[in-house]
Amino acid sequence: MSQSVRPNVTRVKISALGTYVPPRLLTNADLEKMVDTTDQWIAERTGIRERHVVDKGTATSDLGVGAAKQALAQRGIAASDLDAIIVGTVTPDMLFPSTACLVQHKLGASGVWGFDVSAACSAFLYALQTGAQFVATGAHQKVLVVGADTMSSIIDYTDRATCIIFGDGAGAVILEPAEDESLGLIDFLHEVDGSGGCSLYMPGGGSLNPSTHETVDQKMHYVHQDGGAVFKYAVRKMAELCEKILDRNGFKGSDVDVFIPHQANKRIIMATAERLTMNPESVIINIDRFGNTTAATIPLAMQTAREEGKLKKGDLVLLASVGAGFTAGATLLRWAF
């Protein structure tokens, strides 16, 4: 469920960050013309004003490559310098090959191996800790972790309960050994609760319900959500994991310099921050501009924090997510650049 960094393993740091969103915007005003909703209704309940969506023919691997190229350029290394690529996504280009294979090929990352992690909105945190273990044990020196989703590909734009929420985007980080032991990843907590699977899921397309005319007609290839159940679980579990990881490392909410939560709903974010008595200025929120980009929300919010001058070397950073599954996670780190 969790693992603290131990003295006999290498401390791991995030050494670079890159993000990418498609240029096309879908605003609340646009959605008013598509479904029975209003800008005010969406903004009051979710905090979202607009989201980015891909044009036809653009896939999750394309978004991931865009973010990866930025991270590689920031670090000043070639794709072939990487040891592994881990892609967190719930909207792979196809069931196989993995999106990691497609990203590897498009980057020209010769000699690199990789795989996908499917954990919905928690996929970036799960992929981050998976990659960190390879570096911590000395197996690898440079691991690329990508969180990318093309949610518009699985959204029913006649369903106002879901179409107002999601957007498309990608973020990527590079993980390396930390020369300074005071910086880097400190601890993490992960948890899944499969009893919540019926509250947020896509029923069609897998081995249980393979694609047929019937599954398409029944709209089984779109996101299905029980918003109330998801909201209640997210509010409780995000705060619970954040409290636990802070407490076992000797910190309080007020010690956190930057809180970067999954951007699912502004009310969930603020409820967590208030329960932890965090400084409101430490809470990063960009859901108004991007919506819920699933695996991409946390790296996109990292970039927002950097742009706003709120994320500096040595800052104590808390990351948190809750997603379909149910999946949940929290990561504590000292920012390294």
Q: Please list the active-site residues.
A: 121, 262, 292
3-class SS string, 27-80: EHHHHHCCCCCCHHHHHHHHCCCEEECCCCCCCHHHHHHHHHHHHHHHHCCCHH
Sheet holding 84-88, edge to edge: 12-20, 168-177, 143-150, 84-88, 113-117
| Intra-chain end-to-end CA distance of the chain, in Å | 28
What is the C-alpha to C-alpha distance for residues 117 and 267, in angstroms, rounded to an integer? 27
Identify the sign of the CA torsion 322, 96, 301, 163. Answer: negative
Burial class (CB in 10 A: 0-12, 13-18, 19+), 253: buried
- The helix (run of H) or strand (run of E) holding residue 306 is helix 297-307
How far apart CA 174 and CA 155 sit, in angstroms, is: 30
* Distances, alpha carbon 312 to alpha carbons 128, 171, 334, 336, in Å: 20, 18, 9, 8
- Cα torsion 120, 52, 335, 114 to 10°: value is 50
Q: What are the backbone angles phi and psi of residue 24, rounded to the nearest 5°?
A: -70, 130
Q: Which amino acid is at 141?
A: Q
Q: b/e for 258-273, b at 16 or more Cβ within 10 A?
A: bbbbbbbbbebbbbbb
Beta carbons of 167 and 301 less than 8 angstroms apart: no
